[in-house]
Amino acid sequence: MAPSSVKLQELIRLIRTAKTQAEERAIIQKECADIRSSFREEDPSFRCRNVAKLLYMHMLGYPAHFGQMECLKLIASPRFSDKRVGYLGAMLLLDERQDASLLITNSIKNDMNHNSQYVQGLALCTLGCMGSSEMCRDLATEVERLLKTSNSYIKKKAALSAVHVVRKVPELIELYIPAAESLLGGKNHGVLHSAVVLITEMCVRNPEATCKFKKVVPELVQIMKNLIMSGYSPEHNVGGISDPFLQVQMLCLMRILGQNDDEVSEAMNDILAQVATNTDTSKNAGNAILYETVLTIMDIRSESGLRVLAVNILGRFLLNSDKNIRYIAMTSLLKMVQTDHNAVQRHRGTIVDCLKDTDASVKRRALDLTFALINGHNIRSMIKELLQFLDHCPAELRSDCASGIFLAAEKYAPSKRWHIDTILRVLTTAGSYVRDETVPNLIQLITNTSELYAYTVHKLYQAVLADISQQPLVQVAAWCIGEYGEFLLSGTCEEEKTVKVTEDDMLDVLEMILQSHMSSPATRGYALTSLMKLSTRISDNVDRIRKIVSIYGSCIDVELQQRAIEYNTLFKKYDHMRVAVLERMPVIEKNSQVCSDKSTKVLNDENKPFSLSKPNQTEVKIQNAANQQTVDLLDLIGISDPSSTPVVQNNQEKMVGGELLDLLGGINFGAIPSITAYNKNGLTVEFFFEKVGNNELSIQLKAKNATAKDMKEFILQAAVPKNIQIHLQAPSGSVLPALCSGCVSQTILISNPNKVSLKMRLRLSYSIEGSTVQDICEVNNFPPQTWQ
Amino acid sequence: MMRFMLLFSRQGKLRLQKWYVSIGDKEKKKITREMTQIVLGRKPQTCNFIDWKDLKIVYKRYASLYFCCAMEGQDNELLTLELMHRYVELLDNYFGNVCELDIIFNFEKAYFILDEFLMGGEIQETSKLSVSKSIEESDMLQE
């Protein structure tokens, strides 16, 4: 009882009548069940049709793996229709990962030697599309044999199978080199094309093959010449051009052979020039050839005339009405802007015009190219175009455009005022798209331009009055108003006509920023700090500031609350320090981020008279440290992410309470090796270390006098880098008896939470035999355990 | 080298898929979905090339079918347009005024024609005549 089998086209029709997904699934499930039982019957008559139906259902997305073995049976069948569908099934359902794919190796091998070239073709095609490395290894020699057949139909398929073999098993390249060379001698375009593909693949994967194939360059040139010169060949003609596929493939091979080789490049010069000038550009096929020619010219060692020709072709492409051609012209120009900068510069006008192109990808590339072409001479006009572009550009390009403008402005700004203007313009146009580091960078730029403080703060003030939604702009503006508010009050500014601003106006703006729902927490932080700074720069409305600050002491935002409370404290308990603390910020070093800021300041510390640490000045030292800490606080707010300030706060607390902890801490000598900090003129000072807690170090110093006379009034002072706190306790005495008969000991407490490498400068003074000796030395040999 | 070619309708229904790289079924489905989304989502005035991962996607719409090819970095996009056009011409030659329905009901023929034109992601025959002749003669071998 043979099951009646639905014809393929009937099934397709049936499936298409289904109105819902569920209906379709039902039809398919029923059909699959029928097919499965038919497979079980092992009936060969309908196998071909059933597998075909399975392949259709597979394309719709349904599982068809139970048909894999049936494909194998079809391939093994003697009937051509069976083989055709079987091999198709193998290519669609099997891939090299499945073990079943190995089972067809034998069939492929047999069919490669079949009488009918079409069966041979099926086998080669399947191997060339889905053959695994094992299959390729097994059949490599068969393929090589077929490469040498006289049948062009088989030769071209064998060549492309060889390409696949070479991709899967590159070691087999050697096997195909001799046969490949001879393939170029024929007339058949299919064979020629496949041969060129094979040679290209081998050269790409193996530089030795490249050397071997350089000798075919004359042959390639000849074939190209024949193609260009030959009359109309209807068989290979595309839009009036003779076999563009073959031409492009050969140009590609020439590119690989000519790379880094002057001699070979020289041999290609003429034909490349010919193709570049004679190819008809009215149809896409011609442009495809020109495109490939340009790529080849730029990649080999071509002479400069040819290179100029290539860039000009691209320049013409930019003006083409076809957007595809404009797109590839842009892409190519972008690739060569570094190597052939001047040639590309000549087309700058067209490129900048392409910023207005309708196509998004062309616009993007035009943007990249524009940035690559900016230099010191064209910066003004280029940035003008870019700012116009920024006004209308699509959202996905804004961020890149903004950062690009900043980078270019930094590199080539003709004047500081222009630079600041440009940045302001970007912030007002695309403020929400700029990167985070823009704000500190701009602030740093502003602090470095002291002559423009008035101008800058006025412009920012006006900008912020107009619009407080763009956070980076508002942050910079708030910071500037805080720092340079006095310029707003005085209304002086040579550059612009200015409006006199009252204290109330300024405070209004800052309050508005604080209260606006559009302001981010960081922005409000800036505004609050600026308000605080203004308390020392204005005269009448300090109370208003005090009030605002105390209100924010109960703000829900913890960061703002903390700041407000600190500032309140500054008003109440440390009012005498307020002016010093809120002084104008020092000029920020160029290219310094917070971390390197600290290191430069360490150097500065060493040059300045260092904050001395005398035993009876302990009180002042703590105070100084506190000062330093609050200055740090403001620094960090101005430059970096406010979230780092709590860390600094902790330091201060630890510093104050640290003493007690240190005294109560356990003594643990011997863990860290001691060092000799000073040894000169008979005076030696040794340091003994002991770690107390994670960040505290206790140094016990012992000073000894090896000279014959006593050293009296011995005083030791010490200074450390900025991030470390130091505290000297009272020494045991001030007399160093001669000949090491006694010593003076003193304890130094070091707090180093940032684990900065420990250095110390010592200043020693003593009197010996009536004369005073003073000396300064650096101690750099602290063992790493003292700070790590 | 071409990595894959997809043909799909304006509703996103797949009509032909040819993969020249070894990829799992699930991954193929994922990529197909993504391609369909990207290509169908393109505005009318944009160019026919899309940058996708490290590949160049070249697509063109012929009547109700989208032809979509994924090419590697060094391939010539303009030539790929010619390639797709050649395939359409071959189909047109074979079916006579080819339309989407032809490809739906004769999908296996579409594959056979493709396999005479391309192999392993590369063009195997540049002569339209040769390809058509091969298909004709193969068809005659069918029992």
pLDDT given at position A743: 87
Q: What is the pLDDT of residues A613-631, one digit of tens each?
A: 344 333 344 444 444 444 4
When the pLDDT of each residue in chain A is averaged and rounded to a whole number, the result is 84
- Helix axis angle for A542-551 and A521-537, nearest 10°, is 150
pLDDT at A180: 92
Give pLDDT tens digits for A43-89. 888 999 999 999 999 999 999 989 999 999 999 999 999 999 999 99
Indicate whether A442 pLDDT > 90: no
- Who's near A93: CB < 8 A, 6+ residues apart? A55, A58, A64, A65, A67, A68, A71
Q: How confident is the model at residue A691 (pLDDT cuts 50, 70, 90)?
A: confident
Cβ of B47 within 8 Å of Cβ of A362? The answer is: yes
pLDDT for A115-161, tens place per residue? Answer: 999 999 999 999 999 999 999 999 999 999 999 999 999 999 999 99
- Is the model's pLDDT at A449 over the cut of 50? yes
pLDDT of B54 strictly over 50 = yes
Mean of pLDDT values over A374-393: 89
Kindly state whether A164 is in contact with chain B, defined as any CB-CB distance less than 8 angstroms: yes
Nearest residue, CB atoms, A359 vs list B45, B104, B142: B45
pLDDT at A199: 96
Q: Which CATH number fits domain A675-787: 2.40.40.20, 2.60.40.1230, 2.30.30.280, 3.40.50.300?
A: 2.60.40.1230
Using pLDDT thresholds of 50, 70 and 90, give the confidence band for residue A90.
very high
Return the pLDDT at A498: 63
A160–B20 CB contact, under 8 Å: no
* A637 touches A649 (CB < 8 A): no
The answer to whether residue A514 scores a pLDDT higher than 90 is no
Please count the other Cβ atoms lying within 10 Å of the Cβ belonging to residue A63: 11
pLDDT at A599: 35
DSSP state at residue A98 = S
Q: For chain A, positions 196-225, list CB contacts with chain B under 8 A.
A: 197
Band of residue A492 on the pLDDT scale cut at 50, 70, 90? low
Counting beta carbons within 10 angstroms of the beta carbon of residue A559, is it exposed (0 to 12), middle (13 to 18) or buried (19 or more)?
Answer: middle
Picking from A3-7, A41-45, A588-592, A720-724, which range would have the lowest pLDDT averaged per residue?
A: A588-592
Return the top range by mean pLDDT from A209-213, A713-717, A756-760, B78-82: B78-82
Q: Report the share of chain A in percent with pLDDT over 70.
A: 88
- Structure tokens of A548? 């605002």
Residues 64-123 in A contacting B (C-alpha not used; CB under 8 Å): 79-81, 84-85, 88, 91, 95-97, 116, 118, 121
Angle between helical axes of B128-141 and A117-130 (0-180°, round to 10): 110
Contact A292 B115 (CB under 8 A): no
The pLDDT value recorded for residue B121 is: 96
Residue among A13, A59, A129 whose CB faces B20 most closely? A129
Residue A412, pLDDT above cutoff 50: yes
d(CA A589, CA A97): 60
pLDDT confidence bin for A787, thresholds 50/70/90: confident
Q: How far apart are CA B125 and CA A357, in angstroms?
A: 38
Query: Given this model, what pLDDT does residue A3 score?
Result: 54
| Contact assessment for residue A628 and residue A620, using Cβ atoms and an 8 Å cutoff | no
CA–CA gap between residue A367 and residue A396 (Å, rounded): 12
Q: What is the pLDDT of residue A629?
A: 42
pLDDT tens profile A305-334: 999 899 999 999 999 989 899 999 998 998
Residue A187 is classified by DSSP as -
Please give the model's pTM, rounded to 2 decimal places. Answer: 0.71
Of the candidates A539, A548, A537, A476, the residue with the CA atom closest to the CA atom of residue A511? A548
pLDDT band, very low/low/confident/very high, at A497 (cuts 50, 70, 90): low
B63: phi then psi, degrees, rounded to nearest 5: 55, -120
Which of A295-304, A550-559, B64-73 is the least confident region? A550-559
Among candidate residues A724, A722, A721, A705, the one with its CA nearest the CA of residue A713 = A705
| Cα–Cα distance, B97 to A521 (Å, whole number) | 66
- B contacts of A118 (beta carbons < 8 Å): 134, 137-138, 141
- Can you give the pLDDT at residue A546? 87
Average pLDDT in the B81-94 region? 96
Q: Express each pLDDT in A583-613 by its tens digit.
A: 888 877 765 444 333 333 333 333 334 334 3
Sorting pLDDT into bands at 50, 70 and 90, what band is A496? low
Lowest mean pLDDT, pick from A68-72, A718-722, B34-38: A718-722
Interface residue of A192, A248, A275, A299 to substitute, partner B, most B CBs within 10 Å: A248
**What is the SS3 assignment for A495?**
coil
Average the pLDDT over A657-672 and give the result.
46
pLDDT digits (tens, 9 = 90+) for A167-211: 999 999 999 999 998 999 888 999 999 999 999 999 999 999 999
Query: A499 in contact with B at a CB cutoff of 8 Å?
Result: no
Q: Are residues B119 and A236, on separate chains, in Cβ contact within 8 Å?
A: no
Give the residue, A51 or A662, on which the prediction is more confident.
Answer: A51
How confident is the model over A243-287, as pLDDT tens digits? 999 999 999 999 999 999 999 999 999 999 999 999 999 999 999
Residues in chain A within 8 Å Cβ distance of B105: 9, 12-13
pLDDT per residue as tens digits for the range A628-651: 444 444 343 333 333 433 333 333
The tens digit of pLDDT for each residue in B55-83 reads 999 999 999 999 999 999 999 999 999 99
Per CB-CB distance under 8 Å, the chain B contacts of A79 are: 143
| CA distance linking residue A9 with residue A16, whole number of Å | 11
Is the predicted pLDDT of residue A715 greater than 60, yes or no? yes
Q: Radius of gyration (Cα) for chain B, nearest Å?
A: 15
Dihedral class, residue A726 (left if φ above 0, else alpha if ψ from -120 to 50, else beta):
beta
Classify residue A300 by burial, with Cβ atoms within 10 Å: 0-12, 13-18, 19+: buried
**Would the pLDDT of A740 be above 80?**
yes
Express as a percent the part of chain B with pLDDT over 90: 92
Q: Please report the pLDDT score of residue A466 as a whole number.
A: 86
Of B114, B6, B86, B17, which Cα lies nearest the Cα of B52? B6
Residue ranges of chain A assigned to CATH 2.60.40.1230: 675-787
Size of interface A-B (CB pairs under 8 A): 156
Chain B residue nearest residue A363, CA to CA = B46
Q: In this predicted structure, what is the pLDDT of residue A124?
A: 97
Letter for the amino acid at A553? G
In this prediction, residue A493 has a pLDDT band, given cuts at 50, 70 and 90, of low
